[in-house]
Amino acid sequence: MRVGIAALALAFAGVAESSSPEGRRIDLPGQIFSILALGLLAFAFIEAPSRRWSSPLILGCVAGSGLSLAALLKVESTRPGALLSLSAFRNRAFAVAIANAAMMTFGFYTLLFIFPLYYQAERGDSALTAGLRLLPWSLTIFSMSPIAGRLLHRIGPRRLIGGGMAMFGAGLWALGLMSGHASFFAIALVLTVIGLGNGLIFGPIMTVAVSGVSNERSGMSSGLVNVARMVGATLGVAISGSIVGAHMAQASLPAAGFLAGMHKAFFVAGLDELAGGLLAFWLLCGAVKQVHEKASETRYSPAGERDQQAA
């Protein structure tokens, strides 16, 4: 609570207002259609292994999700003060950053969801011990995040994000190739590599997204990055859970089915991360100039704004 209060005080003192000239209003249709699109799709992936993809309920949910997405795009393209500013996606760097955010958290939450279950169900660990075994991953992310900010201006977002996602994907594939009795040291080593990749991309994705829009739209930009992250997280848990569940239902031994499903889920998530890395390498060519231009713009505080107005 104290940290939150301190952050709030610092924000009021040093962060300038960047409200849109269009004003603020509640976009109820946009919220409803976005919830329906994501919720129905997640439900379909979660329930499909037990109800079958040919089930009328599952097919109806998939169709409903698609229709809701189409309605969302239609409403947001014509509504003043829309929740989702579609014009921002004309900026290639912004669009790629949003896609990378979703693809990154797809793999991140696949790992976060499945691996603690592996430690507890297959290795007999308690929930606390399983969490502690993930420390090489989380500590590496924590250590690398400040370094990524400095590297962003030296080597550019294209190499940083592309390389980080490639490391993440390779690490997921390495976990998928390990046997169920792999040593904890070997697992910790792979988790460290994954943490390096994650630490390199968390901050730069946000930086690229915010640099791709005007200052008045920076709040919307950062908000869309977080929405994309939650979309990727939801789909990662839903799809990986359905993969594991399907393998366990088909296997004669639940343990063997869990391991087979885990390996396949990591392969799918690793493929997603590698595709995200290729996307960044291919389409973020001009983003470094954009980031530098944004960083070189005049930064002003509320007091500084008043000084400029007085002048």
Position 17 scores a pLDDT of 60
pTM, entire model? 0.78
Would you identify the CATH topology of the domain 86-295?
Growth Hormone; Chain: A; (1.20.1250)
Position 308 scores a pLDDT of 39
b/e per residue 131-165 (b: at least 16 CB within 10 A): eebbebbeebbeebbeebeebbeeebbbbbbbbbb
Position 227 scores a pLDDT of 81
Report d(CA 83, CA 224) in Å as an integer. Answer: 9
In the chain, what are the helix, strand and coil shares in percent, each to the nearest 5? 85, 0, 15
Angle made by CA atoms 59, 65, 68, in degrees to the nearest 5: 140
Position 152 scores a pLDDT of 81
Q: Which token pair is 268?
A: 């799918």
Report d(CA 93, CA 205) in Å as an integer. Answer: 10
Q: Which token pair is 98?
A: 């949003």
Report d(CA 203, CA 279) in Å as an integer. Answer: 18
Decide: residue 13, CB within 10 A, 0-12 exposed, 13-18 middle, 19+ buried: exposed
- Nearest residue to 64 (alpha-carbon basis) of 88, 32, 89: 32
- Cβ contacts of 17 within 8 Å, gap of 6 or more: 302
- Cβ contacts of 1 within 8 Å, gap of 6 or more: none
Position 306 scores a pLDDT of 37
Position 256 scores a pLDDT of 84
* pLDDT of the chain, 311 residues: tens digit per residue: 777 888 788 777 766 665 555 555 677 887 888 889 888 988 888 888 778 878 899 999 999 999 998 998 888 777 666 667 777 777 788 888 889 999 999 999 999 999 999 888 888 888 899 888 999 999 999 998 888 878 887 888 888 999 999 999 999 999 988 887 888 899 999 999 999 999 999 888 888 877 766 666 666 677 788 888 888 998 898 889 889 888 888 877 777 888 999 999 999 999 999 999 999 888 876 555 555 455 455 344 444 343 334 33
Neighbours of 170 (CB within 10 A): 18
Report d(CA 192, CA 168) in Å as an integer. Answer: 10
